[in-house]
Amino acid sequence: MERPLTQHIRPGETLTITDYQKHGGYEGLKAALKMSPKEVQDTVKRAHLRGRGGAGFPTGLKWSFVPIGDDAPRPRYLIANGDEMEPGTFKDRLLVEGNPHQLIEGMIISAYAIQAEIGYVFLRWAYKKGEKIIQKALAEAYEAGLLGKNILGSGFDFDLYLHTSAGRYICGEETALLNSLEGKRANPRAKPPFPQTSGLFGKPTIVNNIETLCNVPHILRNGADWYKKISLSEDGGTKIFGVSGKVKKPGLWELPLGVTLKEVLEEYAGGMQDGLKFRGLLPGGASTDFLTEEHLDIKLDYAGVEKAGSRLGTGTMIVLDDKTCVVGMVLNLEHFFAQESCGWCTPCREGLPWSEKILARIENGQGKMQDLEILEGLTKTLGPGNTFCALAPGAMEPLQSALKYFREDFERHIKEQRCPRRS
């Protein structure tokens, strides 16, 4: 089984530029620089690489919306979204801390594909170790002539900077990220216009997730067909899956897209801890719908998870066991989302705190039956398309699916006026 992204990463260690090059690092870049930008884009398109940040948008297609040409606006920007603040998600951290040059190479190739002159790595505030590692790697890459003017004699110029976020979940939303990077309030922007045409400082910009970008060198080095073949699915490549919760072996594994949920849970995460039963999981971070026992056979790719009523999201799962209170878990999540709302649009700003207050009341044994109706109403009002960005709809996904799959837990809380899992 191929594990191009992580095969050289060892726990606690960071690949230096020499290590990376020894394993074929920057070969993808060399291949790319021999091609035209359009050809690079087409290769990535043919590889069926889809965005790993959560939305799963085809990467090559996204790139193709950037206007290139003599009369196109300049500069153009490429941004690596490393704000990774989705609860339960820590895959980009592994990639940044383990192999920063893979990211840098991916960014240079991607920048070349869209003819971007300037790049930023937008990194989560809390990733202090990653920050140092990237700084060092950037210095190494500059020194090796891989960044800056006339990269490897190709005539292509690309400057890459690290920006550490001030620490808000909303900064992971690509347009809020752009505002934040511009020094403005991290409110999302209305689309259209999309960042591809009016992004950072109003210039054409691509924002890709760190994991997405880390795939790019391998596609260029080994070709689109290879990339498609290492997957078990229509979607190309491998994906870093993660499991947290009360399983035997929580962790991250790079696996082919299309692996089944059961395989990940049982073979890699080792199944539930002794004495605990599996009740459900959030498949792709906190802002995805619960899946339950009945979904264990689904294939983990974008279409497969969607068919089961949830989203692949970031591919890092949070497992719910039978001794953990689902109301408490959802309350914890809604507390997080309510805290992280930027305050721009009404449903999110006012709706999330309301849902949090109601969940707290239920959890504390003061809930009313009509609270469930209000919660259900909120999941609809805060649904997709109704809010300014995807934060609130994402926040509603665990809530709406919890109400669907675990309704009796909520009702017991209300009937018994206490949390049944607390003694």
Binding site for another protein (CB under 8 A): 168, 185, 189-190, 192-193, 197-198, 201-202, 338-347, 349-354, 357, 370, 374, 377, 381, 385-388
Distance CA 145, CA 151 (A): 6
220 or 352: whose CB is closer to another protein? 352
300 or 348: whose CB is closer to another protein? 348
CB of 336 to another protein, least distance (A): 11
CA gyration radius, the chain: 22
Task: Please provide the DSSP assignment of 314-328 as one string.
Answer: TSEEEEEETTS-HHH
Distance CA 392, CA 338 (A): 9
Decide if 303 contacts 234 (C-beta within 8 A). Answer: yes
133 or 170: whose CB is closer to another protein? 170
Cβ count within 10 A of residue 87: 18
Q: Which of 294, 295, 299 is CA-nearest to residue 260? A: 299
219 or 342: whose CB is closer to another protein? 342
CB of 87 to another protein, least distance (A): 17
Decide if 86 contacts 314 (C-beta within 8 A). Answer: yes
CB of 157 to another protein, least distance (A): 22
C-alpha angle 387-388-393 in degrees, rounded to nearest 5: 45
By residue count, the chain amounts to: 423
267 or 350: whose CB is closer to another protein? 350
CB of 122 to another protein, least distance (A): 17
99 or 179: whose CB is closer to another protein? 179
CB of 193 to another protein, least distance (A): 5
CB of 399 to another protein, least distance (A): 16
54 or 204: whose CB is closer to another protein? 204
Q: At what angle do helices 37-46 and 100-114 cross, to 10 degrees?
A: 120
Distance CA 142, CA 360 (A): 52
Q: Are strands 205-209 and 238-245 parallel, antiparallel or unpaired?
A: unpaired
CB of 50 to another protein, least distance (A): 24
